[in-house]
Amino acid sequence: MQLFTHVISLAAAAASFRAQAAPLTTRPAEDVIAGRYIVQLMPNVDVSSITGHHEKVRSIRRRDDVTASIDKEYDFGDFKGYTGSFDPAVVAELEAMPEVLLVEKDSIMYTTALVTQTSAPWGLGRISSRTRGATSYIYDSTAGSGTYSYVLDSGIRTTHVEFEGRASWGYNAVNTNNADTSGHGTHVAGVIGAKTYGVAKKTNLIAVKVISEDGTAATSNVLSGLNWALNDIVNKDRRASAVVNLSLGGPASSAMDNAITSLSNQGILAVVSAGNENQLAANVSPARAPAAFCVGSVQSDDSRSSFSNYGSAVDIWAPGTDVLSTWHTSDTATSTQSGTSASAPYVAGLVSYIRGIEGLSIGPAARARVLALATVIPPICWFDLPSGQYICPDVSSAPSLMAYNGNGH
């Protein structure tokens, strides 16, 4: 194995293609999809009970006085269930069934990118140095070879030259258009594994489209993407070589949190963005899920990005302001973006990178190794509106950690 120094040229970066971000969508107080519900069955439900449950639902659907239809089914790990359209009477019947764990309104999730900015990249230098201000990225030549990064997002421009043929389409939960029309997923994939802008420059990138063209994602579609990804990983024996990245978030969702737990129970690590609402990450899913590897955003001086969510749900911090990566408008396009959407893929890429060097490991071990390598930075504090005080974590028990690739510099 050999360490390479990747020198970032500020002038070249400044001359890169500048793309305009899609306008932000103001999130309503209650992002629910009218009449649609997610039904999760008990984790230990057996095949006969599932069969019996679906027969009950079919019986309900045959009645003339109700609305009941199922359009998505889930079976990954110990997460079993479905999504459908039901009227209030049917919802009440479903909630009363002993094999049903929960019935939850389907809701809208959002990408967590913010705005396009024109500034040179700095994040790769930061995660390969213990100190701020590094302009070189020092990395091992294995660079994530033999690993698989599943990008649950808006899709990937797989033909982009930066991906060198390592990007492929896996599944589309949204529509039949296997294209990234917003750029969000292509940018995220580039941070994970582009040859110039990526952390793990030899990882395989798998596009799982769960975000629609308007930048939103139904929770039910994200669950469909997770359903496909987990089964693909398990069926291809990739538990120890795969990571899942979710640069998205939405209202608190028990179903989403349980789905992340199901991945973890199968040894698969889900890296998620903390969110961009400048609030406690514990208020949004999947960031609040205990099994999620939640990533917040910092600026080049190691201070929290003004937009980044915060609090004890954030496990680690990574660059998220002015991040240069691949873009969707051509096979050579780039764009500089800010948001926790850019922070999460630094850590997802780091998981694949470390596995390439130290050997493959299942999710919990990979997570522990990333945390063990991390650089301790000054405490990330936040203003608590109810108390009117700044809150800082106890550095002795919960230090603020910056992602680091362990190269010794």
Residue 372 CA: distances (Å) to CA of 164, 289, 404: 31, 21, 9
Q: Are 338 and 113 in contact (CB under 8 A)?
A: yes
**Token duo for residue 44:** 């230990």
Catalytic positions are 153, 184, 341
Q: Are 107 and 251 in contact (CB under 8 A)?
A: yes
CA–CA gap between residue 293 and residue 280 (Å, rounded) = 15
List Cβ neighbours of 127 (8 Å cut-off, separation of 6 or more): 137, 199, 318, 319, 346, 350, 402, 403, 404, 405
Nearest to 29 by CA among 305, 258, 252: 252
Residue 16 CA: distances (Å) to CA of 225, 320, 327: 32, 19, 11
CA–CA gap between residue 102 and residue 230 (Å, rounded) = 21
**Token duo for residue 249:** 């978030």
CA–CA gap between residue 266 and residue 251 (Å, rounded) = 25
DSSP string, 282-351: GGEETTT-TTSEEEEEE-TTSPBPTT--BSTT--EEEE-SSEEEE-SSSTT-EEEEEEHHHHHHHHHHHH
- Phi and psi at 340, nearest 5°, equal -70, -15
Nearest to 116 by CA among 249, 17, 197: 17
